[in-house]
């Protein structure tokens, strides 16, 4: 919703200001200029990026309309899940978690948190490292290094869509100039004609520059920034899981382990100590 509101504000400010300045709105309607700029930019985007990045961009763009992926409630559910897993391991031994992590879709613990079950990356991260804990073949230092390596790789991959859209944003003003130059060529061919015709061609050429800059700074660049924030949110979610697991490996109780995870959260989504404690108690009753 916020994404749509931003688009409306940009269009209202730019077009509204033009109209209020007694500009003729029809003068901005230049479909061929738009085709040159948008088509050229999309072609460059296809040339510059591998297929999986292009696919990922179009997969993630609609999700921007839904707002932030992870809310305070998402983190509270994650910490409650980690508490349940750690408590079971502490009471019954790590081997008691084997069925839960091998078949999380059938686990009574995981079933209480359907949104985490639907989050492929988070679920895989939890089960993979809990599986290594159960196996007991790695010490905490080695496991932490492995987690850091995976988190770095995941973060770099998650940033590819935003980087690719950012590159498009950088190129759009250049394609606007291309459209403007082509408009000037048409204008030069019309020299000697009526001043009104020449003036119209000049205006059309200038609209190319206008569209290139507007599409870049008004839409493409903010979209790239929004995609980057989404990638960083997902990395923070996985980092919270890592902190909880490492606290458990270092011998802390389930209550303290999830407190480590809570402290690792940004202030905007971090629940209070009592708030989280109450949520964990309610989750245990389910």
Residue 11 lies in a domain: no
* Residue 13: inside a domain: no
Angle of helix 221-249 relative to helix 120-135, nearest 10 degrees? 20
Residue 14, domain member (yes or no): no
Q: Confirm whether 140 is domain-assigned.
A: yes
Q: In this prediction, what percent of the chain has a pLDDT beyond 70? A: 98
**Alpha-helical segments (H) within the chain:** 2-20, 31-48, 51-60, 72-92, 98-102, 108-111, 114-117, 120-135, 140-158, 160-189, 195-214, 221-249, 254-263, 273-285
Q: Is residue 243 part of a domain?
A: yes
222 has a pLDDT exceeding 90 = yes
Q: What confidence tens digit (pLDDT) does each residue in 40-51 have?
A: 999 999 999 999
Please give the pLDDT value at position 217: 94
Instruction: Look at the chain and report how many structural domains it folds into.
Output: 1
CB 101 within 8 A of CB 66: no
pLDDT tops 80 at residue 6? yes
What is the average pLDDT score of the chain? 90
Q: Dump pLDDT digits (tens) for 118-135.
A: 999 999 999 999 888 887
Q: Write down the pLDDT at residue 123.
A: 94
Classify residue 19: in a domain, yes or no: no
Count CB-CB contacts under 10 A for residue 7.
14
pLDDT band at 241, cuts 50/70/90?
Answer: very high
pLDDT at 124: 94
With residue 271 as reference, give the H or E element that holds it. none
Q: Is residue 9 part of a domain?
A: no
Q: How confident is the model at residue 21 (pLDDT cuts 50, 70, 90)?
A: confident
Domain region containing 58: 27-62+69-286
Task: Average the pLDDT over 72-81 and give the result.
Answer: 94
- 113 in any annotated domain: yes
- pTM of the predicted model, to two decimals? 0.85
If pLDDT is split at 50, 70 and 90, which confidence band does 286 have?
low
Predicted local distance difference test score (pLDDT) of residue 186:
84
> Which of 91, 87, 85 is CA-nearest to residue 104?
85
């Amino acid at each position: 919703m916020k994404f749509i509101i931003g688009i409306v504000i940009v269009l209202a400010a730019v077009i509204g200001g033009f109209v209020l300045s007694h500009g003729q709105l029809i003068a901005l309607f230049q479909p061929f200029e738009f085709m040159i700029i948008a088509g050229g930019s999309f072609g460059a985007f296809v040339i510059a990026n591998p297929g999986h990045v292009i696919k990922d961009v179009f997969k993630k763009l609609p999700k921007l309309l839904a707002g932030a992926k992870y809310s305070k409630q998402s983190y509270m559910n994650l910490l409650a899940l980690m508490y349940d897993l750690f408590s079971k391991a502490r009471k019954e031994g790590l081997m008691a978690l084997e069925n839960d992590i091998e078949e999380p879709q059938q686990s009574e613990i995981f079933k209480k948190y359907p949104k985490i079950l639907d989050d492929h990356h988070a679920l895989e991260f939890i089960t993979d490292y809990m599986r290594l804990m159960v196996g007991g073949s790695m010490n905490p230092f080695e496991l932490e290094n492995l987690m850091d390596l995976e988190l770095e790789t995941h973060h770099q991959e998650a940033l590819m869509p935003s980087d690719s859209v950012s590159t498009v944003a950088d190129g759009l003003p250049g394609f606007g100039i291309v459209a403007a130059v082509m408009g000037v060529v048409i204008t030069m061919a019309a020299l000697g004609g009526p001043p009104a015709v020449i003036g119209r061609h000049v205006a059309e050429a200038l609209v190319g520059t206008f569209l290139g800059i507007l599409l870049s700074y008004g839409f493409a660049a903010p979209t790239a920034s929004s995609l980057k924030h989404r990638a960083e949110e997902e990395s923070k979610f996985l980092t919270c899981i890592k902190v909880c697991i490492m606290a458990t490996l270092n011998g802390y109780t389930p209550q303290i382990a999830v407190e480590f995870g809570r402290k690792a959260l940004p202030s905007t989504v971090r629940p209070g100590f009592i708030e989280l404690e109450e949520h964990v108690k309610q989750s245990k009753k389910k």
